[in-house]
Chains A and B, each alone.
Chain A
Amino acid sequence: MTRRRPGFLTGLWLNPAGRAGCVLVGLVVVGGLLAAVGATPYNAQLQNPLTTLKGPSLSHPFGTDQFGRDLLSLVLEGLWVSLKIAFLAVAIAGVAGTLAGIIAGYLGRWTSALIMRVTDMLFAIPAILLALAIVTALGPGALDSALAIGVGYVPIFVRVVRGPVLSLRTAGYVQAGRVLGFSSTRLLFRHILPNVAGTVAVQASLALAWSVLAEASLSFLGLGPPPPTASLGEMVSQSSSLASQAWWTLAAPSVAIVVAVIGFNFLGDGLRDVFDPRSRTALAA
């Protein structure tokens, strides 16, 4: 009996983790985009002395902060900043790590050994500390944060890409291509890269979860983009003196962070199940 293999997106949607991931990530991305096009319910930075520290209500679903700013609007704006930095960080880490991983897996011993050594060394510094050190050196701008967060994730991309490339190098169709006289570049980018794309996508999704978390941690420590840029981590840190009277000041940014982190994690799990059915996670069982 032949049954058509379900398409990639259908497969992702049929997977419980994948579906949860799609919904949560969709929510977060749409929220961020609303802020990007300026479609937040209020002007996020608008201070209103009449509405300071009001609890959640119909007009302010997430409540207001100590300056009377609408928390929903602020959270959406913070989410957009977070997503921008996270996507940029993952783009940096993904491109650099994948390239290094492919080269390390495909080229000869010397280059490979060199790349893996440097990777091991980067890996030996806890990623968040590396980010802290880089932020110390570069300053707290958005681009600097992205670079700081991205560098820490490069070694993981290198490792997950290099393994499959090592075994693909001796795969029949790659050998055939070599016999046919294809150039290394062509073999690498047309024949090998597409086969590690799945692995990279899974890792990118998990990296996004980590990056959102790292960005929030940096701004929580006061090392993120400076005010008036809205930032979820900074909102959590501000709330620590307010939350005993106004719990929503802590809840609003926290919910956004948690939804984003769990969403990207679920999406990564779902992608892994779709790309590699052998590794079904405990969640799906």
Chain B
Amino acid sequence: MLASVARRLLSMLVTLLGVSVIIFLVLRLLPGNAVTAQMGVSAGLLSHAQRVALDHYYGVGEPFFRQYVSWLGSMLTGNLGVSLSSRTSVASLVGAALPVTLELAIASMVIGELIGVLFGVFGSLRPRGVVDNAGQGVALVGLGVPSFVIGTGLVTFLASSFHYFPSSRAFAGLFFNPWLNLQQIFFPALTLGLGVGAAIMRTTRAAMLEVVSTGFARTARGKGLSKFVVTWKHLFLGALVPVVTMSGIQLGYLLGGTVVVEQIFVLPGLGRLLVNSISNRDFPVVQSVTLIFAAGFIVVNMLTDMLYTLIDPRTRAR
């Protein structure tokens, strides 16, 4: 067990290193360099000495490999660089934005699991019943309608029908003003949660139907177990592995989805930071935020893998 965890951690680190190389190389395709990106045309007004000093400061003109190693080295010591547009440290920008995105991701996941598991389980107990059809309807919306359409629609509907637009007020931290914070997080989380829920619902329903078809549930009912115990302990537990896989995949997609939804609901999270930095060509921020998202994605995948060994004893032997 310990050895397999160690092996996974190691392979995760290798992947993360590779990802950092890819991100680094992609952003080096940018025309110009850190100095021109920051100063624009006015870089031409610099004296030669100023230019040399700045080039030296940003490492312009050094080989890619040297630039990469120095970037990686400072990343590892927690120095994410300085934002070109706001002149503050990237670490402080990220530190302020990360909790918002985490809260959004967790809230969306909770909503998605609730929608997905409840509709999936109860729908599969009576296929083609009322609950099942309602679930399939929700799934079609969640899968077919992009989150930015749902989000824009939701904002418009709330604002025009109820004059309710919690996002118009400054964002409130969870511990600063919990009530306002929950109102501000709920609708974006619902927007993302619908898509997540749709995918989880389809997986849950299919996995449940498969377990039902093996017939042991009927035996369990026959020997006098309550419907509740059979449904959740026998059927759902048996259907859990694909549901966990799908949840892991969805949590990964969710990280990408926050980019768009934060933009619609004006949440000051990592996604909004990323989009603003892209418009400002502020690539120290773009670089760090992309890497953080990728790291999150990789960690989620690894945790999903490790969950299998907890859920499914058959995977434990190896």
Contact = CB atoms under 8 A, between A and B. Distances in A.
Contact of B155 (A124, A128, A220, A240): A240
Interface string B23-55: 100111110000000000000000000000000
Given A244-B159, A257-B146, A222 B279 contact: yes
Interface stretch (A33-41, A135-143, A166-174): A135-143
21 contacts: A120-B15, A125-B19, A125-B23, A126-B253, A128-B257, A128-B259, A135-B278, A136-B278, A136-B283, A136-B286, A137-B28, A138-B29, A216-B146, A217-B146, A220-B148, A220-B260, A221-B259, A221-B260, A244-B160, A265-B144, A282-B206
B298 A126 contact: no
Most buried by A among B16, B275, B281, B293: B293
Q: Which 10 interchain pairs have the tightest Cβ spacing?
A: A244-B160, A121-B18, A126-B256, A128-B256, A137-B29, A243-B156, A262-B144, A254-B149, A125-B294, A136-B278
A189 to B, nearest CB: 29
Q: DSSP class of A's interface residues: helix, strand, loop or mixed? A: helix
A247 B157 CA distance: 9
Contacts of A125: 19, 22-23, 290, 293-294, 297
Interface-centre pick from B23, B30, B146, B264 (highest chain A CB count, 10 A) = B146
Contact of B156 (A117, A136, A250): A250
B138 interface: no
Interface residues of A, number: 43
Interface in B2-28: 14-16, 18-19, 21-23, 26-28
A233 interface: yes
The size bracket of the interface on B is 35 or more
Contacts of B281: 136
Contacts of B279: 222
Nearest to B282: A136
Contacts of B144: 258, 261-262, 265
A44 interface: no
